[in-house]
Structure 1
C-alpha cells in the first residue's frame, strides 16, 4: 500500500525524487556555472589589460567572446563611476547555489521561507541568463561560447532546484499537480524538450553564420 502524506496525497518515492539525486544535479550544474564565471572574469581582466589581444574563444565573427564582452550588456551594473562585469556577480551567485546544493545533499532541514527564497533566486538567475543570451542573439549578433555554457548550466541548475523544491522541500504546500508531475516523470520529457528548444533556437537564429 502506498504511503501517503497529510491530506491523502501519495508520497513521492524513488531515487529521482530524493535529495541525493536532485541536489547532486544542482551541485554539478552550479559548479560548472561557477567555473565558467571564473573563466569569464579572467578573460574580462585579460581584455582590460590587453585591449587589442584576441581571446581564445574568438572563433569567428559570430562565436566571439570579445564582441560580447565589449558590449554595454556585459556590464549593466554601474556604481561610483565604475562598471562591474556580469561575470563577477556570477561568481557570487553561483557560489551561493553551490553552498545550497551541498546543504541539500547533507539533508539539512532549512526553513520554508529559505527554500522559497532559494527558488525565486534561481528563477532570477535563469531570467537574467536568458536576457543576456537574447541580447547576444538579437542585438549584439554574436555568441560567446562560455556564455552559452553558462546559460545551459543555469537552465539545468534551475530544473534541479525546482525538482528539489517540490519533492524534497514540498513547496508549495498545496500543489498535488506539481508533485504528480514529478511522480510520473513528466519532468524528464519537458526538460529534454526545453534543452532541445534552446539548441534549435540558437541554430535557427545563428546557424548560417555559425557553420559558415
Structure 2
C-alpha cells in the first residue's frame, strides 16, 4: 500500500496527539477509579461530584455510561493509547501506510461521534456535566479536526487540490475551531441547564 504522500513530518500534529492522548488517558483512568470507588462503596458519591449539575456519579451509573456493557472509561483507557503511540512514532521518524492512516482516522471519527452523542445525552437527557467527561470532550474535538485536516491536506484521503490546500490552511485554525465547538456546547448547556444560574 502507498505510504503517506506528504514528505514533511507532521511534528505539531504528533506533539498534539501525544499531549491529547495523555490527557484523555488520565481522564479515563480517573473516571475508572471513580467507578471502582462507587462499586466498592454503595451509596457513596464520587470525588468529582460538586453539585447536582456538575458531577460524575449520575453519568457513571446511567445506561449511557456503559453503552457496550462495561463502563465507558474502559474504552478511553484502551483508545487513548493509540494517539500517544502514533504521535511518538511520528516524532521518532515513522511513516505510516495509507491504510494505517485510514484506520486511525476511522478510530478518531468513532471517538468524536461517540463524544458528540455523550454530550447530547449529558445535556439533554441526564442534565449533568461530568468534569472528567468534559476533559475527554475537550481533547477529542480538536484531535478529530487535526487528524481529518491532516489526511485531507496530504492526500491520504483522495480529494481535489483545492480541498487539500484548504485543509492545509485550516490546520493552523484548529484551536479556533475547537474554541467555537466549546462555545456551542457551552451555549447548549446554558440554554438547557442554566449553568450560570446553578453555579452563581
The TM-score normalised by the length of structure 1 is: 0.81
Aligned-partner Cα distance in 2 for 1:118–1:129: 17
Please list, as runs of the form range in 1=range in 2, the aligned pairs for 1:174-193 lying within 5 A after superposition.
Answer: 174-185=159-170, 188=173, 189-193=176-180
Q: Corresponding residue for 2:104?
A: 118
Determine helix, strand or coil for the equivalent of 2:80: helix
Task: Tell me how far apart the structure 2 counterparts of residues 162 and 181 of structure 1 sit (CA, whole Å).
Answer: 12
Contact kept in structure 2, 1:26 and 1:161, CA below 8 Å: no
2:49 and 2:14 map into 1 onto residues whose CA distance is 34
Which is higher, the Rg of structure 1 or of structure 2? 1
Report the CA distance between 1:197 and its aligned residue.
2.1
Q: Gapped runs of 5+ residues in structure 1?
A: 1-10, 79-83
Within 2, Cα distance between the matches of 1:40 and 1:158? 22
Distance in 2 between residues matched to 1:199 and 1:91, nearest whole Å: 26
TM-score scaled by length of structure 2: 0.86
Q: Would the aligned equivalents of 1:62 and 1:209 in 2 still touch at CA under 8 Å? A: no
> Which is further off, 54-63 or 197-206?
197-206
Paired residues of 2:53 and 2:129 also in contact (CA < 8 A): yes
CA distance in 2, matches of 1:37, 1:177: 38
Partners of 1:192 and 1:58 lie apart in 2 by 25
Please tell me whether residue 163 in structure 1 is matched to residue 154 in structure 2: no
In the alignment, structure 2 segments of 5+ residues that lack a partner are none
Aligned length: 193
Aligned partners of 1:22 and 1:163 also within 8 Å:
no
CA pair 193-18 structure 1, distance change in 2 beyond 3 A: farther
| C-alpha contact (below 8 Å) 1:34/1:90 kept by paired residues | yes
- Aligned CA distance change for structure 1 residues 154 and 20 (closer, same or farther; 3 Å): same
Task: Between 182-191 and 64-73, report the one with greater CA deviation.
Answer: 182-191
Contact 1:30–1:94 (CA under 8 A) maintained in structure 2 = yes
1:76 is matched with 67
Runs of 4+ with >6 A deviation: none
